[in-house]
Structure 1
Amino acid sequence: MNVGFIGTGSMGSTLVEAFASSGALVPEQTRITNRTYAKAERLAARYPGMQAVRTNAEAVAGCDLIFLCVKPLEFKTVIDEIRASLQPEQVIVSITSPVLLAHLEEWLPCKVAKVIPSITNRVWSGATLCIYGSRIEPADMQTLEELLSYISSPLRIEERYTRVVSDLSSCGPAFMAFVLQQFIDAAADETGIDREEASRLAANMLLGTGLLLTEGGLTPEELQQRVAVPGGITAEALKLLRVELDDVFHRVIHATHAKFREDLEKVDQSFTVNR
């Protein structure tokens, strides 16, 4: 199986590196391109046998799967560049949530799917959200999910839930890292503990918490109950957090959905204007 990648920005390069380091793909199976060719060339040089090409059309030629890892408003331009080179049996995989399957199926002559990866895939962890177009066959789903299983837990979802599930799996690491950074900064400011030491302690705490919530079989509610003794220190701190945070994550979800709708409208216009 040969796999192409159009776009080697933050998430595109994460996928390329994760697939290569996990053994999901050998370098000779991988072809990459980027708007700035030198960037793709530098990435390919790290994996002898990986091929960096100069054009998007070259990236799709002879590939079974092609990942489109570009910004939403760049999609129509990329599609125009590759459409004539695509064959019906090839599978285009978008990793950009505001670009709908309907957009892709209208403009492309091949099979289409959407995958929402996560930065956690870099360490072969977390979920990858999978959404399939109408032309995809069960064998195509199996091929894509077997590839993704090297670096994640593939999860099929309906497209209408893309945004909220992305909040949890893809944006979530940044949200949790922000909260953790606030905790670390407060510990250092209030007590004088070395910031690097506090960071190590907090990072290991978060890793262990994740294991308890997955392999350990605890729910978030159960974990809190196990740690917080009634009337104790943890219980007192949780009481404060419940008051201070209150509806903050409701507002976070409102913010991400509002931005998604804004991006979706812009993407839809980019396809409509160029119809």
Structure 2
Amino acid sequence: MITGIIGTGNMGTILVESLITSGFLDQHQLIISNRTLSKAQALKEKYPGISIAHSSVEITKSADLIFLCVKPHEMYPLLEIMEPHLTATQCLVTITSPLSPKQLENTVPCSCARLIPSITNRAQAGASILTFGESCTKEWQEYLQLLASSFSRPLQIETQYTRVTSDIVSCGPAFFSYLARSFIDAAVQHTGINKEQATELTQSMLIGLGELLNKQYFTLPTLQEKVCVKGGITGEGIQVLNEELDGVFKRLFEATENKFKEDLTEIEEQFGVTYY
């Protein structure tokens, strides 16, 4: 079976690397394309067995499973080019949240699905989000579950929760990286500790935190209880966080939801089909 990846930007590259390093696919089972050819060539230098296609039509004619890893507003023009060459036996998968399998399957004659990956999948860790269209055959659903399981914990979710689950799974690493960097900067500014040392300590702490949760020694609430001794230093810090972060994550989800709605409007106008 040949898998095609159209778009080798950040997430397209993560998907290629995750599929290869997990051992799920051999390099020779992958064919990729990108508008900027040098990005595709950089992946081929790293994984020589990969084939590079020079057009989306070439991938459409060559691959059984095709991942669309381009920006939402680029999807419809791309599908117009691909549609005449697609067959009912193929499967088309989008990795972007504003495009639903329902909209895809109204445009193309094959099985359709959505798989939203995370940068954490590069380490064969974290979750991914799966949604299947009504046209997606049982065989393709089972195959996509196996594929996603090779580098993540796939969660099948209802369409109305796409945005919030994507915020947590896909955007979350960037959000918490921002918080960690702010934590480091404040430590440096307030105490004069070397930034490299503060960064190393913070990264080691986050890795250790992940291991505690992964091995199920603690849940998030019980972990906080274990560290936060009543009347101690940690409690003073928690009090500051309670005061300063009040409502911040609510506003974060409101902002991402508003941008999502903008993208939905543009996609629905292009496809002529509602998201839900």
Instruction: Please confirm whether the aligned pair reaches a TM-score higher than 0.5, indicating the same fold.
Output: yes
Q: Who is 1:215 aligned against? A: 215
Q: Who is 1:75 aligned against? A: 75
1:217: Cα distance to partner?
A: 4.4
Cα shift readout 1:87-121 (whole Å, capped 9, x = no counterpart): 10111010011012221011011000001100111
The equivalences for 1:25-44 within 5 A come to 25-44=25-44
Q: Distance in 2 between matches of 1:167 and 1:187?
A: 28
CA RMSD for the aligned pairs?
1.3
Q: Who is 1:126 aligned against? A: 126
Q: Who is 2:148 aligned against? A: 148
- Aligned residues of 1:89 and 1:111 also touching (Cα < 8 A): yes
Q: Who is 2:86 aligned against? A: 86
Q: Distance in 2 between matches of 1:251 and 1:85?
A: 44
Which deviates further from its counterpart, 176-185 or 33-42?
Answer: 33-42
Instruction: Return structure 1 stretches of 4+ with deviation > 4 angstroms.
Output: none
The one-letter code sitting in structure 2 at the alignment partner of 1:13 is: T
Q: Who is 2:65 aligned against? A: 65
Q: Who is 1:116 aligned against? A: 116
- Aligned residues of 1:37 and 1:53 also touching (Cα < 8 A): no
1:138: Cα distance to partner?
A: 2.5
- Aligned residues of 1:32 and 1:44 also touching (Cα < 8 A): no
How many pairs align? 273
The one-letter code sitting in structure 2 at the alignment partner of 1:154 is: P
Q: Who is 2:174 aligned against? A: 174
1:141: Cα distance to partner?
A: 1.5
Which deviates further from its counterpart, 210-219 or 151-160?
Answer: 210-219
Q: Secondary structure at the match of 2:31?
A: strand
Q: Distance in 1 between matches of 2:124 and 2:251?
A: 30
TM-score by length of 2: 0.95
1:214: Cα distance to partner?
A: 3.0
- Aligned residues of 1:18 and 1:121 also touching (Cα < 8 A): yes
Q: Secondary structure at the match of 2:98?
A: coil
Q: Secondary structure at the match of 1:107?
A: coil
Q: Who is 2:233 aligned against? A: 233
The equivalences for 1:238-257 within 5 A come to 238-257=238-257
TM-score by length of 1: 0.96
Q: Secondary structure at the match of 1:24?
A: coil
Cα shift readout 1:111-157 (whole Å, capped 9, x = no counterpart): 00001100111111110100000011232122112112221111111
1:22: Cα distance to partner?
A: 2.0
Q: Who is 2:97 aligned against? A: 97
Q: Secondary structure at the match of 2:177?
A: helix
1:47: Cα distance to partner?
A: 1.1
The one-letter code sitting in structure 1 at the alignment partner of 2:126 is: G
1:219: Cα distance to partner?
A: 2.1
Q: Distance in 1 between matches of 2:262 and 2:201?
A: 39
The one-letter code sitting in structure 1 at the alignment partner of 2:241 is: L
Q: Identity over the aligned pairs, expressed in percent? A: 44
Cα shift readout 1:52-88 (whole Å, capped 9, x = no counterpart): 0101011122322100000000001110111111110
The one-letter code sitting in structure 1 at the alignment partner of 2:65 is: L
Q: Distance in 2 between matches of 1:214 and 1:159?
A: 27
Q: Who is 2:224 aligned against? A: 224
Q: Distance in 1 between matches of 2:45 and 2:210?
A: 35
Cα shift readout 1:183-212 (whole Å, capped 9, x = no counterpart): 000111111111111111111111111222
Q: Distance in 2 between matches of 1:181 and 1:103?
A: 39
Q: Who is 2:139 aligned against? A: 139
Q: Distance in 2 between matches of 1:238 and 1:181?
A: 18
